[in-house]
Amino acid sequence: MKGMFLSKESVVPFIEHLASQQKVFAPNKKVHGSITFEEVNDANDVVLNYARALLSVKKYFLPQRETLLKYKLDDNSFEKQEIEQVNAIFLGVHNYDLQAVLKLDYNFKNNNPEKNYLKRREGAVFVGISYEPDNFHFSQSVGIDPHNTNGFDLFLHKTEEGFVLEVLTKSGEKLLDGFGEISEFQGEYPRNENFNASLYAPQSKLKEVFANSYDNPIWKEMAEKCVGCGTCNLTCPTCFCFNVEDNVGITLKDGSRDRHLDGCMLRGFTEVAGGEIFRDELAGRMRHRIYRKFKYISDITGEPWCVGCGRCTIFCPAGISIVDIVNRLVSDYDKQQVLNEGQMTSVLD
């Protein structure tokens, strides 16, 4: 392949070069103790060798909480909140997180476009980086290998001595203007694609599996372990459900309409007027969450709506693994198929 070579020693000057052009957000360990995307104030604080960030870059386009409008009750007037584009470079993004952003783009562009998300998203430039899969990543099973550059402007492929810097768009090329610490690279870079976790079946087969798994006993078994905390939803880069509520001030003269992220594993998620909760059982909520990742949207798009980041498993306080759930459904489906074939044979005999 053709690209540029960036040595380890040139990484900090490279980050400083990016930051001299635009605001940069990158993985950082100093602010919260675990890896989180933060604005770069010192290039030395950036951590490029990491397993996964606590939250994906989704947080910049779909904030956990935002005010949509403010209103006055005495004259019935209201004022919409102005939304600003996030004009920034997102550096060191793993490709499954960018694939998740592309899935959110699909969700928010179609049918009834979600303007706040789309406006924030417009100004983003992405510089990706390859990673070593740990025991929880399974992105390759959902079609994303660690060197997939789809959607990026620049991409850093890790090598022993530094990085092969792949230029993918005009915006990416422009970011390198005036940066002298790169040399031309011709050849192959090492590919690290050894995943320890994987799904037993591709989406084409999962479509059949999920069509036959609604009553699988695993939903009740998992519900016995699950504490309904919603961490799996809130850390998932492809979850996008939110709630909108009116908060009236104590003087009853004004108020705001606010939106906050919500999650289908939380009990109140399906609460409707009158206090009725139509997905009250944890087993039903668990099934709904997994069906949202592999059936409901996937039947329309043909793609899993999970990017295999492993967050919902690694951060689950009950140790519930999405890979184990899907693989159990596949095994149960295969066993049922064998039984059905046996019964057919004996009927024909």
Residue with tokens 């139509």: 278
Pick the binder of ligand SF4 from 88, 209, 232, 326 (CB under 6 A).
232
33: left (phi over 0), alpha (psi -120 to 50) or beta: left
Distance CA 303, CA 203 (A): 6
Tokens of 318: 């009950």
Pick the binder of ligand SF4 from 58, 120, 157, 293 (CB under 6 A).
293
Q: Looking at beta carbons only, is 51 or 73 nearer to ligand SF4?
A: 51
Q: x/- string (CB under 6 A) for ligand SF4, residues 238-257?
A: x-------------------
DSSP H or E stretch at residue 301: helix 298-301
Nearest distance from residue 213's CB to ligand SF4, in Å?
16
3-state helix, strand, coil split of the chain in percent (to 5) is: 35, 20, 45
Of 108-116, 126-134, 154-162, 314-322, which segment contacts ligand SF4 by CB under 6 A? 314-322
| Distance from chain centroid for Cα 212 | 27
Tokens of 252: 């009853």
Nearest distance from residue 141's CB to ligand SF4, in Å?
10
Of 71-79, 112-120, 192-200, 304-312, which segment contacts ligand SF4 by CB under 6 A? 304-312
Nearest distance from residue 92's CB to ligand SF4, in Å?
18
Q: Looking at beta carbons only, is 34 or 337 nearer to ligand SF4?
A: 34
Task: Decide: 96 and 237 in contact? Cβ < 8 Å.
Answer: yes
Task: Decide: 214 and 182 in contact? Cβ < 8 Å.
Answer: no
Distant-in-sequence, close-in-space partners of 39: CB < 8 Å, separation ≥ 6: 23, 24, 25
* Residue 62 binds ligand SF4, judged by CB under 6 A: no
Q: Looking at beta carbons only, is 117 or 294 nearer to ligand SF4?
A: 294
Pick the binder of ligand SF4 from 203, 310, 325, 329 (CB under 6 A).
310
Nearest distance from residue 165's CB to ligand SF4, in Å?
27
Q: How many residues appear in the chain?
A: 349
Nearest distance from residue 292's CB to ligand SF4, in Å?
9
Of 115-123, 146-154, 178-186, 318-326, which segment contacts ligand SF4 by CB under 6 A? 318-326
Distant-in-sequence, close-in-space partners of 48: CB < 8 Å, separation ≥ 6: 11, 26, 27, 92, 129, 156
Residues of the shown chain interacting with ligand SF4 in the complex, contacts defined by CB under 6 A: 226-232, 235-238, 265, 293, 306-312, 316-318, 320, 322
